[in-house]
Amino acid sequence: MSKKIENIPWSKAEADEVYHISRWGDGYFDINDEGHLCVLPNQDENGPRIDIAEVLEEMKAQNIPFPIVVRFHDILRSQVKVINETFREVIKEANYNGEYKGVYPIKVNQMREVVEEIVDAGSPYDYGLEAGSKPELLSVLAFNDNLNALTILNGYKDEDYLRLALLGIKLGRKAIVVIEKFSELHKLLKLSREMNVEPMIGLRAKMAVKGSGKWSDSGGEKAKFGLTIAEMLTAVQILKDEGSINALKLFHFHIGSQVTDIRTIKEVMREGGRIFAKLVELGAPLEYFDVGGGLGVDYDGSQSTNDSSVNYKLHDYASDIVYILKEICDAEKVPHPNIVSESGRAITARHSCVITNVIDKIETSFTDYETQKVPGEHSLVSNMRELFDSLTIENAQEIYNDALDYKKECLNAFRLGILKLEERASLETLFWKITKKISSLLPEMEFIPDNLYDIDQGIAPQYLCNFSIFQSAPDLWAIGQLLPIVPITKLNIKPHNNGTLVDITCDSDGKITKFIDINETKNLLPLHELTPNEDYYIGLFMTGAYQDVMGDLHNMFGRLNEVHVFCDDEDPTDFYIEEVIKGSSCENVLSAMQYNPEAMAYTMKKNIDRQIASGKINPREGVKLVDFYEECLKSYTYLKN
């Protein structure tokens, strides 16, 4: 029988020190008195609180299976308001003469429900949308119907793309076509004459300044998109010669997503501001200055230049943009332009999380095997047992070194046929017992030797979670993006284990072994002991940017079930589930891979009918087997709770 684990009370401050909720949560997340993670949709400690555990209970009552994506749309709406209000506040205090005209780049999360909420929340601010492809442009034209809001059109463009942009202008939209490649300018001018509509044109510059962080290579002189200084000057001259110079409305640059260092923002603004001012002096009637994306999110809470963090706040970002641009424009005696930013990650990241139920715990070290001395056992086993019996805090390093040697000798002896299988099992069990005992002694040591410092990693359990990293957290797997990961409940109880997470795919890469910490990443996450017949849920937070739309169908695990949660201060729970969107069924993903589920079901029925005809399966059982197969086709792709 497993030893009963004593529950040791844990304070909110202690839990926060481990999971750093107050640092990455930006006031939207907290721990309540029951030890449950909760959402503060208004960033107000005294305002409404949504207990995530209560959301999960309501889901279970509605028979919505895990894993799930939970969208807190109030956070999404709040972030739209915050970025607009912050820029307005800075513009006012700086006596800046232009306005803020932000746009949301839908590539960050193209889900219709997300775009609709952003458009609605941004309506009072004339907050627009940005598209970077033909399908995105089709959706933006349909949803961005605010005639005062901008529609920024980036990406490489074919004739259909440009015609759609001009269609937008015919409909009264402020659809600005950003020239990324010089040849696009000639195509656009030709089509505009053909369609008898004056285009709205932007020029994207290749900046000498490179970004900071994982995406720094997307900027600089070798960037994939943009025009050189010479190309921009040529474009201005062509527009003058064509009599279309008044169509030139916007100057744009982009130095990469998740810019980690505020100094990069300062540098690129000084370069971009000068280019803008010089173009205006040359007769370009530019009205908009588009700083692109790059506004970062502090995923790990370290407030540093780590790839998963930023060393600035939104107010710092807005201030540097406004004040530096004002200073340059005043010095060059050109009008202050309207400021555009394409901040998608900062808008969407916090509103969404993935919550998975833990299926099981995989122990790396098995210590329940019998290790009592038996007559005639090999001396290696006896020696390992003596090490275990003599282990103290004073000799732990020496014992561990000797244990490693005996374990190595054990493997060599087994390969030569000297050691029995049972003896090998006993010796390895004793080794894991030694390792676990040393691990328990580490907190008492004044100094931890180097070879013992990471001993926990060798014995850490793996928590088997009912989800696919490749579907629900692709950036975590592909580029090492860190995400905050926190148990949903038991945050008032000290975790007993330090473990890692593994998903249910049959891929060895389906694991999480890096977790956020203040100074550096940590390889293990404190987690609670699993209790029989009690659910244990783990949340992956800040998944609202990119993760929602970049997941693949590895192992044919499909999209997750979604619940959309809204705050309701009049409700006893402070929330209501506004919508439930079903995830992929098995037949959905099979169809996506060019299978025909109906034909598959028909083939299986014929096979079962043949077995019935041969007498190997009785008719009643055959009907049940056919029904079972067809039910599985219609079922969720993930494990049943």
Domain CATH number, residue 409: 1.20.58.930
Residues 6+ apart with CB under 8 A from 279: 203, 232, 236, 251, 286
**Are residues 251 and 186 part of one domain?**
yes
381 band by pLDDT with thresholds 50, 70 and 90: very high
**Are residues 51 and 137 part of one domain?**
no
**Are residues 61 and 103 part of one domain?**
no
Answer whether residue 451 shows pLDDT above 60: yes
Distance CA 117, CA 112 (A): 9
pLDDT value for 218? 59
Distance CA 128, CA 112 (A): 15
**Are residues 183 and 297 part of one domain?**
yes
pLDDT value for 222? 61
Answer whether residue 322 shows pLDDT above 70: yes
The answer to whether position 318 is within a domain reads yes
pLDDT value for 2? 44
CATH value at residue 221: 3.20.20.10
pLDDT (tens digit per residue) in 514-534 = 999 988 899 999 999 999 999
Amino acid in the structure at residue 105: P
The answer to whether position 390 is within a domain reads yes
**Are residues 262 and 139 part of one domain?**
yes
**Are residues 116 and 28 part of one domain?**
no
The answer to whether position 116 is within a domain reads yes
Q: Choose the final residue of a domain: 457, 474, 507.
A: 457
Q: Choose the final residue of a domain: 287, 312, 341.
A: 341
Helix or strand or coil: residue 323?
Answer: helix
**Are residues 310 and 171 part of one domain?**
yes
Residue among 167, 164, 162, 193 at smallest CA distance from 179: 162
433, 389 Cβ separation under 8 angstroms: no
**Are residues 335 and 425 part of one domain?**
no
Which one of 252-261, 303-312, 535-544 scores highest in mean pLDDT?
535-544
pLDDT (tens digit per residue) in 548-565 = 888 888 999 999 999 999
The answer to whether position 540 is within a domain reads no
Residue among 383, 389, 436 at smallest CA distance from 410: 383
pLDDT value for 1? 35
Answer whether residue 66 shows pLDDT above 80: yes
Answer whether residue 3 shows pLDDT above 70: no
**Are residues 412 and 290 part of one domain?**
no
Least confident range from 111-115, 364-368, 446-450, 484-488: namely: 364-368
85, 324 Cβ separation under 8 angstroms: no
21 band by pLDDT with thresholds 50, 70 and 90: very high
- pLDDT mean over 81-89: 98
Dihedral sign computed on CA atoms, order 462, 463, 465, 469 = negative
The answer to whether position 65 is within a domain reads yes
Amino acid in the structure at residue 509: D
Supply angle C-alpha 135, 137, 143, rounded to 5: 110
- pLDDT mean over 360-375: 89
User: What average pLDDT is seen over the chain?
Assistant: 94
Answer whether residue 221 shows pLDDT above 80: no
**Are residues 247 and 315 part of one domain?**
yes
580, 608 Cβ separation under 8 angstroms: no
List C-alpha distances in Å: 434 to 305, 365, 367, 431, 623: 40, 11, 10, 5, 55
Distance CA 425, CA 406 (A): 13
pLDDT value for 213? 63
Answer whether residue 69 shows pLDDT above 50: yes
**Are residues 408 and 290 part of one domain?**
no
pLDDT (tens digit per residue) in 234-291 = 999 999 999 999 999 999 999 889 999 999 999 999 999 999 999 999 999 999 999 9
Domain that holds residue 36: 12-72
The answer to whether position 621 is within a domain reads yes
The answer to whether position 281 is within a domain reads yes
Q: Choose the final residue of a domain: 439, 457, 475.
A: 457
Answer whether residue 38 shows pLDDT above 50: yes
**Are residues 297 and 433 part of one domain?**
no
448 band by pLDDT with thresholds 50, 70 and 90: confident
Distance CA 465, CA 504 (A): 7
Q: Are strands 511-512 and 497-502 parallel, antiparallel or unpaired?
A: antiparallel
pLDDT value for 456? 87
Please classify residue 214 by burial: count the beta carbons closer than 10 Å to its beta carbon, then call 0-12 exposed, 13-18 middle and 19+ buried.
Answer: middle
- pLDDT mean over 540-552: 91
The answer to whether position 545 is within a domain reads no
- Number of domains within the chain: 4
Amino acid in the structure at residue 13: A
